[in-house]
Amino acid sequence: MSEFEEPIERLIEYFRGLPGVGKKTAQRYAFYILEGNKERAQNFAKAIVEVKEKVRLCSECGNYSASEVCPICSKRNKKVICVVQEPKDIVSMEKIKSFDGVYHVLFGCINPLENKGPNDIRIKELLSRVSKYEVQEVIMATNPDVEGEATAMYIAKVLKPLGVKVTRLAQGIAMGSDIEFADEITLEKALRARQEI
């Protein structure tokens, strides 16, 4: 006999799948649902389903968006593109508030150990945006680790022939850390001190 009834056990398993959630925490979450309001649980479930149904990738930048083109791409300066590895990096960058350009999500970086080459991340899309909108500057905000650096260098190399200025966030960000978890002040300093590659 397992510890919980089957539907409870199953829900605990799904909660355990969330990042950083262990057995005890997953049990607490499941009991919260069990103890809580039924309608609220149904709405919670609906929110999970709808986030997958209604949210797609912005056709310009690749960030999660509820519309064909995301609010950032439709309103801001298309001449300056900040390139990030993941959508969550945009959340951190947006905290600066003073950046008025757009973003480009690579969805990863060049990583030979994971068999990820230049064709496996959204570099082709970046190149066509650069040509299409006569982009003046591409700011590389990939993570400050070996793979992120290599990716920034590679992209700088392929963009140079197009006559676009390619810069890199200043190394105010500690090596080996993660853009997602950087604080706003460090990020703002890094943005201001960006260097041409």
Binding region for its own copies (CB under 8 A): 1, 3-8, 10-11, 13-14, 17-20, 25, 27-34, 38, 40-52, 54-55, 64-66, 70-71, 87-88, 91, 94
- Helix ranges, the chain (H): 6-16, 23-35, 38-54, 71-75, 87-94, 123-132, 146-159, 184-192
Our CB check for its own copies shows the closer of 87 and 101 to be 87
Q: How far is the CB of 61 from its own copies (least distance, A)?
A: 13
Task: Give least dist CB 22 to its own copies, A.
Answer: 12
* Residue 45 Cβ vs its own copies, minimum distance, rounded to whole Å: 4
Q: Are 187 and 157 in contact (CB under 8 A)?
A: no
Rounded distance between C-alpha atoms, residue 82 and residue 52, angstroms: 26
The minimum distance between CB 13 and its own copies, in angstroms, equals 8
| Spatial separation of the C-alpha atoms in residues 103 and 142, rounded to whole Å | 12
Q: How far is the CB of 96 from its own copies (least distance, A)?
A: 13
C-beta separation of 165 from 136 below 8 A = yes
Q: How far apart are the C-alpha atoms of 176 and 111, rounded to whole Å?
A: 15
Residue number, 72 or 156, with CB nearest to its own copies: 72
Residue whose CB is less far from its own copies, 56 or 124: 56
Residue 3: C-alpha distances to residues 22, 92, 117, 143, 188 (Å): 16, 41, 46, 43, 50
Which residue number, 46 or 132, has a Cβ lying nearer to its own copies? 46
- Based on CB atoms, which residue is closest to its own copies, 44 or 118? 44
As beta bridge partners, residue 105 has 84
